[in-house]
Structure 1
Amino acid sequence: MTEPTPDFQLTRQIHTVLVLHFIEGLRQSEIASKLNLSTSKVNRLIAQGRKLGMVRIDIESPFQRLADLEAKIVSATALTSAMVTPTVSGNAETKLQQVGQAAASMLMETLRDGDVIAITGGKAISAVVDNLNPEGSIDVTVVPLTGGVQGKFYTDVNHLVTRMAERLGGKPVLMHAPLFAENAAQREMLTNMASIKEVLDLARAATVALTGIGSVEPRGSSYYDLNPVPEADRKMLVGMGVSAEFMAHLIGRNGKVADYDLNRRLVALNPAEIGNCRTVIGVAAGAHKAQPIRAVLNGNFVDTLVLDEETVTAVLAHLEGSEDAA
C-alpha cells in the first residue's frame, strides 16, 4: 500500500523541517522553536518525510575500496570480520606499524573489564602493543600463549605481556619457560609443572587471543630467530608443504600442524586450543604473508584478520585459485 501524497502545504513544511535537520544540523527542539511547532510534531514530520522517500542518505568514503576488500575476504572465508589498512608505503616497517595501529584500535573495541588476553610474541604483536593508547584503565589480565626466547624485544613474550598490561592498566601473568624444550619428554615435564600449567590453563580460558602469522620462507621469516634451523631443514619444510608459523607451530598449506620435531618440543598451546576464545585476532603485513595467511585460514585458527591492502589482495588471489600469486 503506497503512502498517500500529502497536500502542498504539508509537503512544504516537511521539506523545511528536513532541510533544517539534515542539512543545517539543527536539533528537533531547535526546529520546533524556530517554526513554532511542538517537538513531537517535528518528530512526526521527519518520520513522514522518511516514509515518503524524501530522505536519502549517501555516504562517500575515500576508503570504500578497503571496506569492499574486507567484505570480500569475509565472504570468501570463515572469518567473522576483517580490517584492512591502506598500503601507502613500500617500507615494511611503516606498513607493519599501520597494521599494528589498526589492530590496536580493534582490540580496544573488543576488550571488556574482566577479559583475559592471550598473546604470542613477534614483530606484529609488538607493533600492536606500541600503538595501544586507551583512554582509561581496563581491568584485564594478559597472559602468554607460548614460552619465550630471550634476547630480542619481540621474541620475549613475557616482555610483551608486561608492556601490554602496563598500557592497558591490567595485570600481567608471566610464564617462565623456554619456547623450545630439549626434547618431547622435557616438554611434557615442563608443561605439567604447576607454575607453567597454571599459565597455560589461563591462556586456554582466554576470552581474546592476539597472534601474529609468520612465514617460513628463508627471506622475510622471523621464525628462524626463535630457533636455529639447519638450511637443509628449511628447504625440506617448504618441500613438505609447510607454509606458516602460527603460535610458534609450523603449519602446512592444508591448515594442519606439521609433523616436525620442533612442533613436538614446543612449550605452547596448540592452535586448536584457542578455538573457544570469544575473538581470535590474527595480525600480518606484507604480500609474502599471503600463503601463510591462507594456511591459517584453512585451519580455521582465527576469526578476525588485520592486514594491509597489498596483503589482502594477494590472499584473495590465492583464495581464487592463483597458486603462483605473490
Structure 2
Amino acid sequence: MAERNLDFELARQIHTVLVLHFLEGLKQFEIAQKLNMSTSKVNRLITQGHKLGMVKISIESPFARLTELEAQLVGGTALETAVVAPTVSGNAETTLKQVGLAAANLLLESLRDGDVLAITGGKAVSAVVDNLSPEREMNVTVVPLTGGVQGKYYTDVNHLVTRMAERLGGKAMLVHAPLFAESRTQRDMVKNMAPIKEVFDLARSASVALTGIGSVEPRGSSYYDLNPVPESDRKMLVGLGVAAEFMAHLVGETGVIADYELNSRLVALSPSEISSCRKVIGVAAGLQKVRPVQAVLNGKFLNSLVMDEEAVTALLAEMGRMKHVA
C-alpha cells in the first residue's frame, strides 16, 4: 500500500506535463523551462504517460480529486499555488513523506540559478530535504530564517540548511546563534552582530522561502520542541487564541503576531520581512495542522501551500463554516 502511494508524486509530474503539452499546447522545451527540468525528462514523462494509458481522448489521472482541492484552496484564499498530496490512512509518517515529496518538487520547480533560498527548521522542512532529487547541481545559496535549537535533527536549522545545500549542490551560510535570547536587548545585540546580520540580510532578499507551520495545542505541538513552556502557559496561549507557530513566532487565529513575551526575544526574521519573496512555501501535514494553517493563511504569510488531502478537506470545510457564520 505504501509503495503504491509513493508513486503518486511521479504520477503528478506526468499529469502536469501531459496537461501542459496536450491541453495547453506547450512544446517540450517550454515545459522544461516552466517546470525547471530537462527536455529529456519532459520527453520521458510524456512517454510514460502514454504507456500508463493516461493519454486518450482526454487526460486521465488519479489526481482529479487532488487538483479539485488545489483549485478550491487557491480560489478561496490569497494563495497563488496549492499542492495537495495524498493522505496515507493510519500512517502519519508516510503522509508526511508524501507531502515532503510534493513540496520538494514544487521547490525544484521554483528555484533558479542565483537564487537565495531561506528556510526554517521543522519536521516538514526536514521531509522536504529528505525527498529532494534535483537533476543537476543548482547555483543557489541556502540560509536560515531563524536561530537554532540543538538537540533534534529537525530543530537545528543550521543542520537542515547544510543538508539542503548539499542536496541542491549549492552553498550554505549559517547563523550561529540560539533561537531565543535572554532579553529583547540581547536579541537586538545578537541580530546586529556582523556575521549574523549578513546572513539575515541575505534571507530578507531571498527569492524563495520554505517554512514549516507549527501547532501550539499541547498534544503533538511542535512549538514546544523549540522552547519548553510551562503547562500553565500552554493552556493560557490556547485560551488567548494563539493558534500557530510560523518562523518561530506565535500567531493568533486571526493571523496577527501574538503579544507574547517569547516573541520579543526571538533571534529570527519576522513574517513581514519575507513578504517580498517571489515564492513563500508553507508545508504541513496532518489534521492537527488545520487550525495553524488557517491562522497563517489569515495572516497572508504564504503564497504557496503544500498539505495532505485529509487536512485540506478539513481546512476547506472549516473555512466554509467560518464564512457561513460570518
- TM-score, structure 2 as length reference: 0.81
Over residues 76-96 of structure 1, what are the superposed CA-to-partner deviations in whole Å (9 max), with x where a residue is unaligned? 000001000111232111111
- 2:201 is aligned to 201
Cα separation, 1, equivalents of 2:313 and 2:105: 22
Once the two structures are aligned, what percentage of the paired residues are identical?
A: 72
Q: What does residue 5 of structure 1 align with?
A: none
- Aligned residue runs from structure 1 range 173-188, under 5 A: 173-188=173-188
Alignment of 1:171-320 (within 5 A): 171-320=171-320
Aligned pair 1:111/2:115, yes or no?
no
For residues 233 and 64 of structure 1, the distance between their equivalents in structure 2, rounded to whole angstroms, comes to: 44
Gaps of 5+ in 1: 1-21, 23-55
Distance 1:265 1:108 in 2: 33
1:322 Cα deviation after fit:
5.3
**Aligned equivalents of 2:90, 2:148: Cα separation in 1:** 31
How far apart are 1:173 and its partner, in Å?
A: 0.3
Secondary structure of 1:82's counterpart equals strand
How far the C-alpha of 1:67 sits from its partner, in A, is 0.4
Residue-by-residue CA offset, 1:98-153 (whole Å, 9 max, x unaligned): 10011001101111000000000000000000001111100000000000001110
* SS of match in other structure, 2:321: coil
Secondary structure of 1:142's partner? strand
Q: 2 CA distance for matches of 1:215 and 1:208?
A: 23
Superposed counterparts of 1:78-117, under 5 Å: 78-117=78-117
Q: Partners in 1 of 2:265 and 2:61 — Cα distance? A: 49
Larger CA deviation: 238-247 vs 81-90: 81-90
Q: Which runs of 5+ in 2 are unaligned?
A: 1-21, 23-55
1:120 to 2:126 alignment: no
The alignment of Structure 1 onto Structure 2 pairs a total of residues equal to: 269
Distance 2:92 2:219 in 1: 13
Q: Counterpart of 2:232 in structure 1: which amino acid?
A: A
1:166-210 deviation line (CA, Å, top 9, x unaligned): 010000000000000011111011111111111111000000000
Counterparts of 1:123 and 1:64, CA distance in 2: 28
AA at the equivalent of 2:298: N
Give me the CA root mean square deviation. 1.3
Three-state SS of the structure 1 residue aligned to 2:185 is: helix
Q: Report matched runs for 1:31-180 at 5 Å.
A: 57-180=57-180
Q: What letter matches 1:293 in structure 2?
A: V
CA distance in 2, matches of 1:297, 1:222: 18
Amino acid at match of 2:233: D
**Secondary structure of 1:215 counterpart:** coil
- Between the aligned partners of 1:84 and 1:150, the Cα distance in structure 2 is 31
The CA deviation at 1:319 is 0.8
- CA deviations on 1:204-259 (whole Å, 9 max, x unpaired) are 00000000001000111111011110100000000110000000000000101000
Q: Deviations over 1:259-290 (max 9, x none)?
A: 00110000000011100000000000001111
Letter paired with 2:58: D
Matched position secondary structure for 2:305:
strand
CA distance, structure 1, for counterparts of residue 57 and residue 79 of structure 2: 29
Deviations 1:10-64 (A, max 9, x none): xxxxxxxxxxxx9xxxxxxxxxxxxxxxxxxxxxxxxxxxxxxxxx942222210
Instruction: Specify the code of the residue in structure 2 equivalent to 1:172.
Output: A
Residue identity opposite 2:154 in structure 1:
Y
Give the superposition deviation at 1:317: 1.2
Amino acid at match of 1:118: A
